[in-house]
Amino acid sequence: KAALFDKREFVEIGVFQTINELVSFVNERSPSNCIVSSVLADHETNMLLSQLEQTSFLLAANSKLPFNTNYQTLNSLGKDRIANAAFVSSKKNLRNTLVIDAGTCLKFDLVTEHNDYLGGSIGPGLEMRFTALNNYTGKLPLVRFEKEYESLVGNSTQNSILSGVKIGMQEEINGLIARYERDFSDLTIFITGGDLDKFELKSKNTIFADRLITLKGLNEILIHNL
């Protein structure tokens, strides 16, 4: 993915199948600066950086970040989690804030009112749960998500899996939200990720949905390093 911003104003996003398509998108728009967040092998990342015509900043564990943290394993902290925390830290009148990222993995990350990133949790995401039941058992089928499914008691193997995965994950999310609300007062909650609209979330506070949180957070880190 690549996103274009004018300072903090989102302009455009592109999703690509190849690095060459991504590079063409970026170079055609000639931004003044770029931030690159990559999980590719080092030689592939270096190849990507070499093809960008703009001054490019690679997000790394030793990058200057717009929040404070004593996270014990910063070298292995996911770039998406770093970006989500950076998005939070840019908010005016910062309060205790929880970011829920429902993507490949289900991630919770907390930034306090003092701009301290504390960490959070990582669990399997929606598709990962369906796939694991199929891969790690002898006979359970691979079931796909059904938005309409709502029954707690599954009356078939497929519906039992839907209940265990969909209803189970929904209850997990709501239970964690309740725990965070109990432990951290005046909590603001954001949710992002590809599966953000697949669950009915419950909170005594408003939950703000934004698919661009990670990209906006990367932009905040870039601004912080200019």
The token duo for 110 is: 């907390």
**Distance, CA of 56 to CA of 34 (rounded, Å):** 5
Amino acid at 11: V
The residues, ordered by sequence, that sit 6+ positions from 113 with a Cβ below 8 Å of its Cβ are 94, 95, 96, 186
80: annotated active-site residue:
yes
Contact in structure between 209 and 197 (CB atoms under 8 Å): yes
CA dist 222 and 219 (Å) reads 5
CA dihedral 153, 156, 160, 161 (to 10 degrees): -160
Of the candidates 6, 80, 109, 186, the residue annotated as catalytic is 80
What span, in angstroms and rounded, lies between the C-alpha atoms of 99 and 83? 11
Active site residues: 80
